[in-house]
Structure formats: C-alpha cells, structure tokens
Amino acid sequence: MGRPPCCDKIGVKKGPWTPEEDIILVSYIQENGPGNWRSVPTNTGLLRCSKSCRLRWTNYLRPGIKRGNFTDQEEKMIIHLQALLGNRWAAIASYLPQRTDNDIKNYWNTHLKKKLSNIQGNSSSDQENRYRSRGSNSSSSSETAVCKGQWERRLQTDIHMAKQALCDALSLDNKSVNLPQLSSSIVSRKPSSISTNPSAKTDQKLILPPPQTNQSTITYASSAENIARLLPNWINKIQKSSQTSSESISTTQTQNSFDGRFPSPPSEGFDKQFGYHNYSNISDVSQSVSPEATSLFQDESNPGANTEKAQLLPLSFLEKWLLDDANAQENDQDNLMNLSLEESNGLF
DNA sequence: AACGCCAGCAACCGCAGATGG
DNA sequence: GCCATCTGCGGTTGCTGGCGT
C-alpha cells in the first residue's frame, strides 16, 4: 500500500553529521531519553529525519560504544556468532554490547569476510552462502520454499558445526572470553523469512541473557570520548571564528584513532585555555571543560530557533549522565562476571 | 604534483515486525 | 481484525583518505 516516507524529503539534510548536530542531538536525548524519534527533528530543530537521528545515536553517540580496532577476542566472537546466527548483526551485537551492529557488519564485510575466505578458500564460501541464505533479507524465493522439516534438519547440522567451532574457540581462550549463555532458543529459532511465528523478530531479543563484555574494557572511556570528541572541536570552531588570527589552537590537526571527522585532542593552547587534558581519563573529562567552555557550548549549541532545550542544558548534566551510565555498566559487568564459561558449554 | 584505484566506514534506503487507536 | 505509524534491522551506497603509479 505504499509506505509513506519517514520524513519529508524536502529540507531534510543528508550526509555526514556535524559536531553541532551531534551536540544538539545528545543534549536533547540527555533530557528526553532515546525514543520517540519522530519528534526529535521537530523538537531540536535538526534538519534530519527521525531515522537519521536514531541511527546517529545508536551507531555513534550512544554512551558505551567502543570504537577503533577490534580485538582478537571480539573477532573470534563475531566469526563464530556469524556462523551461528547468520547475518543477524543486531543479535551478534547483543553479545558485544560495546559494538554496534553497523560496526560489526562493516567489520565483517571489510575484514573478516576476506580473512576467512583467504584462510578457508572456496569451501568456506559455500558454507558462508548457506548461512547467508538463511538471513531474513537475503532469502531467495527458492530458499523460502524449503520446507520446515528440511530446513530444521539443515539448521541442526549447521548448528552442530557451529557449536563445534565455537567450542574450539572457547577452548583456546576460555580464560579471557566471556561467552554469554546460549539458550536453546537459539538452536530452535528459524529465520524470520521462513518462520511462521509472527513474533520471530521479537524472539531474537529473547535469545540471550545480557551479553557479557570484556572486563578489561572501560566502557565509559569510549562513551565519554564520543561526546568529548565533540567538545574540543566545537570550541575550536568557535575560537576559530572569533579568533581567526590566533595560532594557539590547531584546528587542522588530523584525527586520533577514532574518527577522521573529528579533530585530535586540542593543542597546548586549548589545554591552557580550557583545561583540556586527556579525554581518555574519566575524571579528566569532567574537569576538562571550564565554565568558559561550558558557556560557549550553551551559547553555540543552538543554531536553530527550536533548540531551547538543548540551549538550556548545562554541560555538567551531560557529564553526570555519562558518569552514571558508566557506573551502571560497571555494575552490570560485575554481575555478569559470575556467569561461568562452563554454564555456556553445558548448554551444548 | 596529479591522477586513479581501493579500502574503510558513516549514513541511507527499504522492508518487516511491533504497537496503538 | 484493520490500518496507520513507529521502530529495528540488514543490505547497499557513496564519501573520504591512503596508497601506488
């Protein structure tokens, strides 16, 4: 029946997000919480569609996101989970809470796929295709014609192989890899394209206990960086415009390891002026933005006329919110540590 | 220095399930 | 039960920077 577009295409900005837009979005979500994305563009004045806002938040701005290189453990997890779950990136991402499905998907497509094909040769691509064909979106018409019984037999075979591979991997690093318990619902689930269960998609979310994270990783640091990355750039831009002759701040530095669109940590000049130190340290984040910076932030975070809320948000709220998030995650991780690897193996 | 190629990644698109009236 | 709308997901696109020629 023709689904209406998620937003009016006219006047909707597309393409990369600017730090200004990020700040506005984060500020709004901080106050109102994620969700109700439809109202985000109108309430913030952002010239973005609701989907774009949601995506930006979930894939980039959301606290607790780890960016940068994938560790060997994460890589192994992805490989085996992909074998187990297919291209259900959201489900895979639920095992790696610090990674977004988009990130994992990109990493798979750009690194792991090649890596695996190099290692395994053509035989693996056959298997890969088999798993891929089970994906909800990629099922061909002939694939969906596979009857339930045939499909389940094949799935059992696949799962047996995947379990084997997973056990192998676990035996290699069972001291460091915290694999979530794999409930039996994984092995009984059908791909949504075949499933007769209308709630098949919801089912995905029931599969697992809260996934475990790498204990050695401080989730806050990355989430703080997500936001903190914006601030120096934001302030730099302000300074640049108001003090174009100043040499103290390098606005043309190329980026640190995270994202080329954001500047590297500010130069000495910034450091002196705003007390910027090192955003990788949680306490430094909260100390790093001086009242001057905060006021600048407040003044400039409102390019649009409809961003009163964002304008009124003190930066300290933002920091507190991030800190609370970090603490909560830390507690979660403590709880999760009690889940032993043996429990997950026992399910096989 | 200029150009083209390629890899990586952020963002978009469209589909499908969930939800509420 | 139907319909409209919202949200989540996976596939794909296109921009950008690095590298080789």
pLDDT tens-digit series, residues A93-109: 888 877 888 888 888 88
Is the CB of A59 within 7 Å of strand B?
Answer: yes
d(CA A225, CA A149): 49
d(CA A143, CA A265): 51
Helical pair A122-133 and A113-120, crossing angle rounded to 10 deg:
130
Report residue A346's pLDDT band, with 50, 70 and 90 as the boundaries.
Answer: very low
Nucleotides of B under 7 A from a protein CB: 7-19
| H-run or E-run covering A297 | helix A291-300
Q: Is the pLDDT of residue A119 over 60?
A: yes
**Model pLDDT, residue A160:** 52
Closest-approach nucleotide to residue A34, Cα vs C1': C7
Task: Report yes or no on whether pTM surpasses 0.75.
Answer: no
Is the CB of A3 within 7 Å of strand B?
Answer: yes
Report the distance from CA of residue A61 to the C1' of nucleotide B5 in Å, as an integer: 32
* CA neighbor of A285 nearest in space, from A243, A232, A237: A232
Report the distance from CA of residue A88 to the C1' of nucleotide C10 in Å, as an integer: 7
Listed as own residue / partner, the contacts of A137-141 with beta carbons closer than 8 Å and 24 or more positions apart are A137/A87, A137/A193, A138/A87, A139/A191, A139/A193, A139/A194
Closest-approach nucleotide to residue A55, Cα vs C1': B11
The string of pLDDT tens digits covering residues A179-216 is 443 333 333 333 333 333 333 333 333 333 444 433 33
**Model pLDDT, residue A313:** 39
Report the distance from CA of residue A259 to the C1' of nucleotide C19 in Å, as an integer: 19
> Mean pLDDT for chain A?
52
Report the distance from CA of residue A343 to the C1' of nucleotide B5 in Å, as an integer: 50
Euclidean distance between the first and the last CA atom of chain A, given in angstroms as a whole number: 45
Mean pLDDT of A127-141: 35
Closest-approach nucleotide to residue A60, Cα vs C1': B10
Is the CB of A260 within 7 Å of strand B?
Answer: no
Helix (H, G, I), strand (E, B) or coil at A173: coil
Is the CB of A130 within 7 Å of strand B?
Answer: no
Report residue A229's pLDDT band, with 50, 70 and 90 as the boundaries.
Answer: low
Report the distance from CA of residue A22 to the C1' of nucleotide C16 in Å, as an integer: 20
The answer to whether the beta carbons of residues A186 and A85 sit under 8 Å apart is yes
Mean pLDDT of A306-328: 41
d(CA A163, CA A52): 37
Q: Higher pLDDT residue, A204 or A10?
A: A10
**Model pLDDT, residue A195:** 33
Protein residues contacting strand C, judged by Cβ under 7 Å? A 1, 3-4, 6, 15-16, 35-38, 50-51, 54-55, 87-91, 101-102, 105-106, 109, 132, 135-138, 201, 204-205, 254, 260
d(CA A250, CA A263): 9
Q: What are phi and psi of A58, to 5 degrees?
A: -70, -30
Helix (H, G, I), strand (E, B) or coil at A136: coil
Closest-approach nucleotide to residue A12, Cα vs C1': B12
Closest-approach nucleotide to residue A137, Cα vs C1': C10
d(CA A102, CA A83): 17
Report the distance from CA of residue A75 to the C1' of nucleotide C9 in Å, as an integer: 21
Measure CA A344 to chain center: 25
Name A residues 99-118 whose Cβ lies under 7 Å from strand B: 102-103, 105-107, 109-111, 114
Task: Calculate the alpha carbon distances from A239 to A25, A254, A261, A273 in Å.
Answer: 22, 18, 18, 11
